[in-house]
Structures are given as structure tokens and as C-alpha cells.
Structure 1
Amino acid sequence: MELAQPAILAEETSLARYITFAITDAENIPSVLQKLADTVDITKHAIGIGQNVIQSLDTEIPGLRYMPALAAGEIEVPTTADDLWIWLRGDDRGKLFHLSLALEEICHPAFELTSAIDSFQYDKNRDLSGYEDGTENPEGDDAVNAAIVKNDIDGLNGSSFVAVQQWIHDFEILDEMSTEEKDDAIGRHISNNEEYDAPKSAHVKRSAQEDFEPEAFMLRRSMPWAVGMDGGLMFVAFGHSFDAFEAIMERMMGEDDGILDAIFKFTVPITGAYFWCPPVKGGKLDLTALNLG
């Protein structure tokens, strides 16, 4: 779709760097956003804007909200105070690093850096747990229908909403689990990625997008991350709204039937935020909806 940020629908990348920012000076937000729109190559990278930024501009993006915090027993799904998100994609880690430094300088008058996470492709499309990730991701028109807003409103048509979470794995627990126990937690055989009659708590059964009413399809662009001896998954999911993400997250937490997703045995999210990704016009971000066109 020509109005969507191309990076959202582009083929997967071998490397990524996710940088987030928090507001420090609201008065400078308009000039910073306009400079980002003029600087960032949206054919390769993507930008998301948080609710605090929208409110500081005294405007509204229908459908944008804060990610809700959830809890079930000792499991918590947090929400993080991040206001601006930039997804850098490429095949050279050094270039992505230097680009992030340049973007931090551009953002500095209005924002401070809150995180910078490098991600990478592992064995083509596997999570660090060893299981394939993104299975049954929508493609083609289905991907557009799942991820992109379609309406007749200039500045909103072609935009997208993205949910971003950093999940951290407990590799000691993973190493102690048998292959059968891990398969039962995921709901697929690690050997061939085939689904089977796994327990009701299996992640595949808790999150099957076609099992919701309405169906809860999202376009996932997740990648593994590792810092020192820690690692996990940067979960990134684009949607025409946040409804699909929230429906799946609530079922994973057992809010409808009390069954907690077995994936929480070895991984938990440590951050979480929602962003709105503006559409594109004339080869750069269209900030019309923010009265910054």
C-alpha cells in the first residue's frame, strides 16, 4: 500500500536496532518531528509516535492509547513510558549504530534516549528458544489488511499501530526443560515446526489468531536480541488497531478461562508500549494528522 511506511510491509531484515525516547521539552516536539520526517529513510526504517506526544500537540489520533498493564499471579505484563520509537533496519550493525547516534542528536532538543536494543536474525526465523517465530504471519493483501489503517481521512489513511515489547528468556529454565516439555509449552515440535494436540496452555493454542471473534491477525516483525549473557525476543506487531494484540495478550494471561500461557514458564516481557506510525506522502512521513504537514 503506497501510503504505508514501506518498512512495515517490507521483507524481513537481517539486523535491526530499536531506539526509544521520552519527552524532555514538549515545545520542541514539532520541529524535531519535522526534521525526522525530512531525515529518516522510510524505505528502510520506521517511526512510531506515542500518546504523550499526540497530547502535547493538542491533537488526537483515533485508536491510539496507552498499552494496558496486565497481571496474573506472579506474571506481569508491564507498560513503559516511551514516547517515540524508531525501528532501524539493515545488514551492517556499525551503520545502524552510527545512524542511531545521528538520530539521537536530532531528537535531543525534545527527547532523551530511553533504550537502544540491537536485534538480529537467528537461523533465518527462529527465536532464541530454538522455535520458529512468525509462523502463519499474514502475507500480501492479508498483511496489508491486518496492519494498515484504511479510511478516507488524509493523514490517517495508510497509517498503522504498533505494539512493542522486549521479552527476556530464562535460559537456565529452558536448558532444564526436556524437548517434550518445551514442545508442550509452545504447541509445536521444535524438530519440524508442526502443530500437534498439545495442552490447552500451549502458546499456539492461546494465541491462534484465527480462533478469536473477530479474528485477531497482526503483522509480526519480531527479532531476537542479546546483551551480554541476557537475551530474548523484541516482539513487534503492527495492526490497523490494537484490538487484536490486546485480545491475544488477555487470553495469554488467562483472563477468559484462567489458563495461563505456558510460554511464561521461560520468558516474560520487561517493557511494553504502543505507538502510531504515520502514513507516507511524497516519499516522507505525512504529519498532516498532527497539524505539522
Structure 2
Amino acid sequence: MSEKSWDRVPIDAQSIDAPLSRAAVFLVLTVPEGDAALGKVCATLDGLADLVKTVGFRDLGARLSCIVGIGSALWDRLRLGRRPLELKPFAPIRGARHDAPATPGDLLFHIRAERADFCFEFERLLLDGLGDAATVADEVCGFRYFDARDLLGFVDGTANPTGPDLPASALVGGEDEEFRGGSYVVVQKYLHDLGAWGRVPAPEQEAIIGRTKLDNVELDDDDAPRKSHKTLATIVDEQGAEHDILRDNMPFGRPGRREFGTYFIGYSRRLWVIEKMLQRMYVGEPAGAYDRLLDFSTPETGTTFFAPSRPTLEALVEAAQARIKGGG
């Protein structure tokens, strides 16, 4: 592991390190004004672990899990005290040709399981419990597509960190001790123009992505006139150190509505890593040489959250409940 601070990493960092599941729900909610709504949100978060058990006991092999992320505005409204060092709203990006919008979101629930019915039941009970204390801003049901491919036909998440590199890339460490074990989360819902993509010859598709389509071999584009998606999404700092993020992207779609997409969800120890990755994709490196994948994939949403470690989340919710009940 590259960073010494991780010799004391907490194990219970929600379930960020869970392996890729066969099904997932990405649920983004907004919370209305008022202490009544905040109180119900806190009660729901307080009972989240029990809800996972309630649904998950039917088949432990389904490996039901749920990660909750809190948005910047809700963090302030709950008066949770000091914020994680980099927590802030998603910054919209305006490129020469493509833009990345910022969209509302106070809470993120990333629900995963090996069975879609478990995700469905968990989400149903979760929303029933919240009632009018939350409004659905976005809801996407993802599925694993063949051998972890996206709907463009390429294997997704190949560069994900594994083993001891995973917490060093995805979880906050000693640089922000109070929030050790948490993670910054950025989500974007992309819609694909599969018709236009299908008319692109396979070798050109591979040059755009930066990998071969059939066997997922990385391509060298050092001398290419335009950098690939793979290269633009690779972040190296001024000291030459590469910074990874953990992606748990999922395909989604409704063929009857001609809707085909990828839900991007990135977990990172440092928010600036994802922000720089998106800047390189949309603005280009050099400026103007944007990610050509954006000619076929359009972002519909963009929201940032912080997912605290489980013990930290429990402590934050308990403190927020006490303040709300005390009228403070």
C-alpha cells in the first residue's frame, strides 16, 4: 500500500468495497425544508442496518447492501458539525462542445444485491419509511451486462483498484482523521446514442475507449493525436503519482423507450481526483481535445455526496436527532 496512514484504516466503511453485483438501484433524493422531514430522515438512516437485515435474511447469498451518501446542502441543514475537507456541491463543467450539468440531490442510496427483487424490496420499504420526508430526484435500476460490459460493448471498471490499493484509493485516511473510512461519491447518469455508436467502425471505437473491444487489452495512445477515454480518465499528480478511484458503474435501459445508458458512480479518497478527471474529459487535454466518447454519451445528472464510515454515520445521526428533538 502506497500510503502509510492506512495501517489504521477502519474495517467498517459501509460496504464500498463490496464486489460488483448483478443488480443495483441508484436512488437520489431531495429533502424538503423543516425539522419534521429532517427527523424522519434521521430515523430512517438510524434504522438502515436493520432494514438491510429485514430484507436480506431471506437469502444471505443475495449479498444485499446499501451505501448512503449525504449531499453538501443537507449536511449543513442537519448541522452535522465540521464538514469533510473536500465536501461541496457538484461543479458543473462547460466544455467547448459538451457540458456536465449539476443536478439536485440531498441523499444517495446505492443499493446492491445479486437479485433484483432484493433491491426492489429494499427500495420499496425505504421509500415507504421516508414518506413525504423525501422526493425522488432520480432513480435508476442497473444490471450486470454479460461479462461486466457497458451497453457500448466494452468491459467497464477494468482499472479499478483491488486488494490493499482499494482503501488507499477510495477511502479517506489520516489527512482528515475525523472522517477516516468515508468516501467522496460522484454520480452521473449518461444516455447513449447506440445507433450513432453502432455506425462507428470497431477500430475507431477502440481508439476512443483506449481498449480492445473483444479481449479488453489496453491500447497505447502516447503518440495518438487525440487521447482516449482511458487516458483522459487517468489522473497523475505533479509528483508523478497516479490516483485511482473505485467505479461501480452499471448499465441500464428501457428498449421500449429507446433509452440506453451507463450510471457512473465513483468513490474516491479525494474529491479533486474525480473533478480533475471530469475536467480532462469535458474540457480536453490539451483544451479542446475532449473525450470523444461524449459525442455518443450525454450526461443527464451530476451530484456529489459524502459517504461516512458506518460508525461515523451512526454518531452523526445520533447527534442530529438530539439537536432536532431539543429544538437546537
Shift of 1:138: 0.4
> 1:21 is matched with which residue: 19, 23, 29?
29
Shift of 1:100: 1.0
Q: Residue 3 of structure 1 aligns with which residue?
A: 12
Q: Residue 319 of structure 2 aligns with which residue?
A: 291
Distance 1:256 1:184, change over 3 A: closer
| 1:67 is the counterpart of 2:83 | no
Q: Residue 50 of structure 1 aligns with which residue?
A: 71
- Contact 1:202 1:261 survives alignment (8 Å): yes
Q: Residue 222 of structure 1 aligns with which residue?
A: 249
Q: Residue 233 of structure 1 aligns with which residue?
A: 262
- Contact 2:96 2:283 survives alignment (8 Å): no
Shift of 1:178: 0.6
| Matched letter for residue 66 of structure 2 | H
**Matched ranges for 1:102-181 at <5 A:** 102-151=125-174, 156-181=179-204
Q: Residue 184 of structure 1 aligns with which residue?
A: 207
Give the alignment's Cα RMSD to 1 decimal.
2.3
Moved over 4 A (4+): 152-155, 210-214
Corresponding residue SS for 1:183: helix
Shift of 1:280: 1.4
Q: Whose helix proportion is higher, 1 or 2?
A: 2
Shift of 1:154: 7.2
Shift of 1:227: 2.6
Deviations 1:130-188 (A, max 9, x none): 01111121011111011111239775221111111111111011111111111111111
Which stretch of structure 1 is more off in the superposition, 34-43 or 237-246?
34-43
Aligned length, in residue pairs: 290
Structure 2 CA distance for aligned equivalents of residues 165 and 65 of structure 1: 16
Distance 1:39 1:141, change over 3 A: same
| Matched letter for residue 41 of structure 2 | V
Distance 1:25 1:232, change over 3 A: same
Corresponding residue SS for 1:172: helix
Deviations 1:100-138 (A, max 9, x none): 121112223421112221001111211110011111210
| 1:254 is the counterpart of 2:290 | no
| Matched letter for residue 231 of structure 2 | K
- Contact 1:25 1:109 survives alignment (8 Å): no
TM-score by length of 2: 0.81
Which stretch of structure 1 is more off in the superposition, 199-208 or 232-241?
199-208
Shift of 1:78: 0.7
> 1:264 is matched with which residue: 276, 280, 294?
294
Distance 1:134 1:13, change over 3 A: same
Deviations 1:28-57 (A, max 9, x none): 314422332323439711101101111112
Identity of aligned residues (%): 24
- Contact 1:154 1:288 survives alignment (8 Å): no
Corresponding residue SS for 2:137: strand
Distance 1:153 1:267, change over 3 A: closer
Distance 1:192 1:278, change over 3 A: same
Deviations 1:48-92 (A, max 9, x none): 110111111233412210111011133110111111110111122
- Contact 1:216 1:243 survives alignment (8 Å): no
Structure 2 CA distance for aligned equivalents of residues 152 and 244 of structure 1: 15
Corresponding residue SS for 2:179: coil
| Matched letter for residue 219 of structure 1 | L
Corresponding residue SS for 1:80: coil
Corresponding residue SS for 1:201: coil
| 1:93 is the counterpart of 2:120 | no
Deviations 1:219-269 (A, max 9, x none): 111111113421111111101121110111111123551211111121121
Corresponding residue SS for 2:104: coil
Shift of 1:23: 1.5
